[in-house]
Amino acid sequence: MSSLGTEELLKRLDDQHQAYLETFKLVHEALNNSVTNTNTVSTPQSTGSIRTFTKRRRRSTKDDRDIPEIRPSTLHSSVLSGDSDDSDDDDDLYVQTPLASFTHGEEQLRQHLRSYNFTDAGHTILESVITKNGRLLEPVLFPEYHRADRSHNSHYSVFDVGKDGAPLSRRDIVEPGTTKIDSAIWQAIKDLNSDPESLRPAVGRITIVREPSPVILGALHLTLNNTFDMDELFNYLVSDEITSANITRRPFSADSRQQKSFIFNFEYWTLVGEECQPMPWQLADKTPSTSKDHIPISRCNSVVALSLSGDPIRKLRNPARRARTDYGYVYDPWAAWHVLNVQCYPDHRHTMDVHDSTKHYVNGPEAFLHTLLSEFKDAEKRFEAIYLKISKLVSPPADFMFDGEIRDKLLFEDEEFTYSRRYFWAYQTLGLMKSGLKAIMDSYEDTFTEDVWEGKHKTIWPMLDPDSHRNKYWQKRMQKLKLDFDKQMANLFKLYEETDEKMKEIRTLRDQLFSGTSVLESRKSVEMAAVTILQGHNIKLLTMVSIFFLPLTFVTSIYGMTNMSTEQDFTPFGITMVTICVPFFILVGALNTTSGMQFWRVKWYKFLGWFGQQGIHSASTPSSTKKKLTLMGDSVFPDPSTSASAIRFTNDKPKHLPHSYSISTAQSLAARKELTDNPGQSSTPNPPFSPSATPLSPSMNSIPEHPITMPISSHSPVSRSKYTSISSVDTIASKTGPRPSLTRSASWWDMVLNKGKRNVSEKGDGFGRV
């Protein structure tokens, strides 16, 4: 018989077992009503196939008769796994304490949603229900959504775990004919152990809700708020923080619900499914793009929580320095438990077969770890799907080696910046993926240390009696789970490295794109420069043509005057035209060549130098000097009778000067000429001369002034090794003492004049600056 046939037969056996128990219960009630004289009832005979694995249990507290119980799920597990260990048949290895019962109605749910003071996260999640125009105003709380509404593709898995550790689905509880998914989920979660005479009370419940609607989230808040801090879970769903494990410090919380619970929060990204829509609070594209290169990605989150009931088994002192509570409490891992998994993933990548009747969970932590392991596997699938999509987007197509057009698109950027945008988005998205993967791996490694797997951790599921048979069996199962987790972490780390390699590849493609585009732009710049040069030549040609007609226009304008002679003789006109046009054309032609331009530039500089020298000589004549001295004042040359020492000249050189003075270059030259021509003659003293107050002649206004200090005692040159410029004298005098006198020889003046010729030709604004 094939394995598939065995699976089907065992499931049928489970169904027959449930039907047998229900029939036996009905027979038992009928016998109680009809038979009053007999205190015992014979046990109905079962078929031989069922009797093979029938086991006697303790008598029920409700009845003193022996009730057979069949455990097909245990045999099912043994057949599939090939494990013949008798430990699966030992009731002491599983949790035996049933969960507290509760029952809620639809009207109670409506009242809870209307009156409960939800947090901001709760208002965000339940906005379409608890607002003024929300679902609470409708007569039907659980609507039947339109097929086009893709925001409520809900799915659920609710299991009640019995004392044998096998989870049984509660889909059979849903009334037949129920078409509303919200109503079906509500029927599965609204009560727990509501039948006190049930032969199989639940010691644990596993509730998995995928893509729940706001109404179902409100129903979970009602049914599980006494077990979990649902406001805290809603905050985890709405927040955009990274994946985190909230397990270690919870025993020291002030809220008893948080002391009993362990929460693992997942925050990462996924590809939006074809018929799915993200939750309103999840980050996603507001307007779907129609581009073929668009990748629809949404922020997704999930919460896996475990709660242990009962009384605490250990009291711990809080080691935190700023602790709000002095002590914390640790609860028994073998107490009755709840596992809640809320998955908000707008896709179809959920793992649906995490829990079934073939599995057995010794306690709540084991069921919690199995649920957590499935979340790690789903995270790997979602990350890998995004990785493959981005890899396909940025990788060159297979025919790029044979298609030059595709190569040009990859190497040179277009006007829409397609590949720059694509590489930037892909690189940043993969970077966020790396952060998400690292957060998941870090949360696992920081939380589930070796002490946790060995049962030695102080706050996470400690073993009070490690040597007991039950704890040894649980530790053995924990080691198997640890191997599965380690394997899954290795897969996530491999995906992390592949993501990093893909980021390097994208960075290389981006650099190549930038390099190729830069080369292309440089080439275009060279082409534009060539076009600019060509345009310059065209403009030059146009200018030359215009210049060609300028002298002709000038001549014709002269001979076109009305007062010119009206004789028919064109000889004067021809002579004038040749005289004006030919030299002009020769000059323009010479200036149009490099050698001609250099020739005329040299000639022009020489002319300007000659013109400047003639101006200086004319300014140095006795008549002009006297005129300038009259303008400057008579105080330029002091009176020998009033000065401390008379001025004496020997060999055209002054012996003594009473003081130093500063005048302009032209004035100093004129004064020097006057002293040379008339030695020993002094002028009548006048009021002190002020250059700014004394008006100068128009010819002297354009002469730039430069301060020059005339010698005091001698006209002989002084060594200038210590001073490089006249402007530095003030700085030196302020540091070293009295201001020294600088002399200028005749050769120095000649050098200045020669230099002035160059400056005059270049500046064109007067004599050269000294």
Q: Among the three residues 515, 543, 571, which one is the final residue of a domain in this structure?
A: 515
Backbone φ and ψ for 156, nearest 5 degrees, come out as -145, 155
Q: Is the pLDDT of residue 28 over 90?
A: no
Quickly state the pLDDT bin for 631 (edges 50, 70, 90): very low
pLDDT value for 497: 97
CA distance 43 to 61: 18
CB atoms under 10 Å from CB of 403, counted, come to 11
Per-residue tokens: 563: 């007062």
CA distance 622 to 677: 9
pLDDT value for 101: 94
CB atoms under 10 Å from CB of 568, counted, come to 5
Domain for residue 370, yes or no? yes
CA distance 329 to 323: 14
- In this structure, the strands spanning 649-650 and 653-654 are antiparallel
- The mean per-residue pLDDT over the stretch 16-33 comes to 68
Mean per-residue pLDDT of the chain = 77
pLDDT value for 63: 40
Amino acid present at 14: D
What is the DSSP code (8-state) at residue 635?
Answer: G
Per-residue tokens: 310: 């009962």
555, 570 in Cβ contact below 8 A? no
Q: Which residues contact 729 (CB under 8 A, 6 or more apart)?
A: 709, 723, 739, 740, 742
Per-residue tokens: 678: 């008339």
Per-residue tokens: 651: 């060999």
Per-residue tokens: 711: 């010698």
Higher pLDDT, residue 203 or 749 = 203
Higher pLDDT, residue 75 or 665 = 665
Q: Which residues contact 330 (CB under 8 A, 6 or more apart)?
A: 251, 312, 313, 314, 315, 316, 458, 459, 462
Domain for residue 414, yes or no? yes
Quickly state the pLDDT bin for 380 (edges 50, 70, 90): very high
Helix (H, G, I), strand (E, B) or coil at 206: strand
Domain for residue 364, yes or no? yes
CA distance 543 to 209: 85
Backbone φ and ψ for 42, nearest 5 degrees, come out as -70, 145
237, 266 in Cβ contact below 8 A? no
Which of 711, 712, 709 is CA-nearest to residue 726? Answer: 709
Domain for residue 665, yes or no? yes
Backbone φ and ψ for 340, nearest 5 degrees, come out as -120, 130
- Examine the domain organization and report whether 61 and 112 are in the same domain: no
Alpha helices in 155-213 (DSSP H): 181-189
Q: Which residues contact 28 (CB under 8 A, 6 or more apart)?
A: 41, 63, 65, 67
Q: Which residues contact 227 (CB under 8 A, 6 or more apart)?
A: 257, 260, 261, 307, 309, 338
What is the DSSP code (8-state) at residue 101?
Answer: P
User: Residues of the chain with pLDDT > 70: what percent?
Assistant: 68
Q: Among the three residues 500, 515, 530, which one is the final residue of a domain in this structure?
A: 515
Burial of 316 (0-12, 13-18, 19+ CB in 10 A): middle
- Examine the domain organization and report whether 24 and 107 are in the same domain: no
CB atoms under 10 Å from CB of 618, counted, come to 10
Quickly state the pLDDT bin for 647 (edges 50, 70, 90): very low
Q: What are the E-state strand segments in 36-90?
A: 54-55, 69-70
- Examine the domain organization and report whether 181 and 57 are in the same domain: no
43-57, 532-546, 614-628, 636-650 — which one is most confidently predicted on average?
532-546
pLDDT value for 133: 83
- Examine the domain organization and report whether 511 and 637 are in the same domain: no
Quickly state the pLDDT bin for 487 (edges 50, 70, 90): very high
Per-residue tokens: 165: 């550790």
Domain for residue 769, yes or no? no
What is the DSSP code (8-state) at residue 634?
Answer: G
Q: Is the pLDDT of residue 374 over 70?
A: yes
pLDDT value for 551: 85
Q: Which residues contact 387 (CB under 8 A, 6 or more apart)?
A: 430, 433, 495, 498, 499, 502
35-44, 169-178, 444-453 — which one is most confidently predicted on average?
444-453
pLDDT value for 344: 93
Q: Is the pLDDT of residue 301 over 60?
A: yes
Per-residue tokens: 540: 């030059």
Per-residue tokens: 656: 């003594």
Per-residue tokens: 672: 């020097």
Higher pLDDT, residue 348 or 618 = 348
**Packing angle of the helix pair 72-81, 3-34 (nearest 10 deg):** 170
Quickly state the pLDDT bin for 361 (edges 50, 70, 90): very high
- Examine the domain organization and report whether 397 and 310 are in the same domain: yes
pLDDT value for 92: 78
Residue with tokens 């006249």: 726
Higher pLDDT, residue 631 or 448 = 448
Domain for residue 568, yes or no? no
Per-residue tokens: 162: 């019995």
pLDDT value for 447: 94
Per-residue tokens: 422: 């694509």
pLDDT value for 116: 95
Q: Is the pLDDT of residue 416 over 80?
A: yes
pLDDT value for 183: 92
- Examine the domain organization and report whether 61 and 142 are in the same domain: no
Task: Give the count of domains, the chain.
Answer: 3
372, 247 in Cβ contact below 8 A? no
CB atoms under 10 Å from CB of 610, counted, come to 12
Name the least confident of 127-131, 422-426, 558-562: 558-562
Quickly state the pLDDT bin for 484 (edges 50, 70, 90): very high
CB atoms under 10 Å from CB of 361, counted, come to 26
DSSP 625-687: HHHHHHHH-GGGS--TTTSSS---EETTEES--SS--B--HHHHHHHHHHHHHSTT--PPP-S
Quickly state the pLDDT bin for 373 (edges 50, 70, 90): very high
Higher pLDDT, residue 673 or 535 = 535
Amino acid present at 457: H
Alpha helices in 48-177 (DSSP H): 48-51, 72-81, 106-115, 120-125, 127-130
- The mean per-residue pLDDT over the stretch 336-358 comes to 92
Which of 453, 206, 454 is CA-nearest to residue 337? Answer: 206
Q: Is the pLDDT of residue 556 over 50?
A: yes
User: Residues of the chain with pLDDT > 90: what percent?
Assistant: 36
pLDDT tens for each residue of 559-568:
888 777 777 6
Q: Which residues contact 627 (CB under 8 A, 6 or more apart)?
A: 697
Name the least confident of 295-299, 514-518, 623-627: 623-627
Q: Is the pLDDT of residue 520 over 80?
A: yes
CA distance 560 to 564: 7
Q: Is the pLDDT of residue 692 over 70?
A: no
Residue 755, domain extent: 610-763
Question: How far are the Cα atoms of 88, 292, 299, 393, 613 from residue 425, in angstroms, in the given order?
Answer: 53, 15, 16, 11, 74
Name the least confident of 113-117, 240-244, 387-391, 437-441: 240-244
- The mean per-residue pLDDT over the stretch 102-122 comes to 94
Q: Is the pLDDT of residue 747 over 70?
A: no
CA distance 272 to 581: 84
CA 230 from chain centre, in angstroms, equals 32
Burial of 461 (0-12, 13-18, 19+ CB in 10 A): buried
Q: Among the three residues 515, 540, 569, which one is the final residue of a domain in this structure?
A: 515
- Examine the domain organization and report whether 138 and 61 are in the same domain: no
CA distance 336 to 137: 38
- Examine the domain organization and report whether 377 and 432 are in the same domain: yes
Helix (H, G, I), strand (E, B) or coil at 321: coil
Domain for residue 591, yes or no? no
Q: What are the E-state strand segments in 276-311?
A: 297-308
- Examine the domain organization and report whether 54 and 113 are in the same domain: no
pLDDT tens for each residue of 705-740:
445 444 444 444 444 444 444 444 444 444 445 444
Which of 689, 557, 682, 670 is CA-nearest to residue 617? Answer: 670
Q: Is the pLDDT of residue 122 over 60?
A: yes
pLDDT value for 538: 87
Domain for residue 559, yes or no? no
Vertex 458, ends 454 and 461: CA angle to 5°? 60
- The mean per-residue pLDDT over the stretch 234-248 comes to 87
Q: Is the pLDDT of residue 73 over 50?
A: no
Q: Which residues contact 365 (CB under 8 A, 6 or more apart)?
A: 306, 333, 337, 461
- Examine the domain organization and report whether 280 and 341 are in the same domain: yes
Quickly state the pLDDT bin for 755 (edges 50, 70, 90): low
pLDDT tens for each residue of 185-232:
999 999 999 988 888 999 999 999 999 999 999 999 999 999 999 999
**Packing angle of the helix pair 418-447, 364-394 (nearest 10 deg):** 160
Per-residue tokens: 205: 């419940």
311, 178 in Cβ contact below 8 A? no
- Examine the domain organization and report whether 223 and 290 are in the same domain: yes
pLDDT value for 60: 38
CB atoms under 10 Å from CB of 79, counted, come to 17
pLDDT value for 126: 94
Higher pLDDT, residue 247 or 212 = 212
pLDDT value for 677: 64
Which of 543, 103, 71, 449 is CA-nearest to residue 245? Answer: 449
Name the least confident of 97-101, 467-471, 593-597, 679-683: 679-683
- Whether pTM exceeds 0.75: no
CB atoms under 10 Å from CB of 194, counted, come to 12
What stretch of H or E contains 313? strand 312-317
- Examine the domain organization and report whether 396 and 273 are in the same domain: yes
What stretch of H or E contains 433? helix 418-447
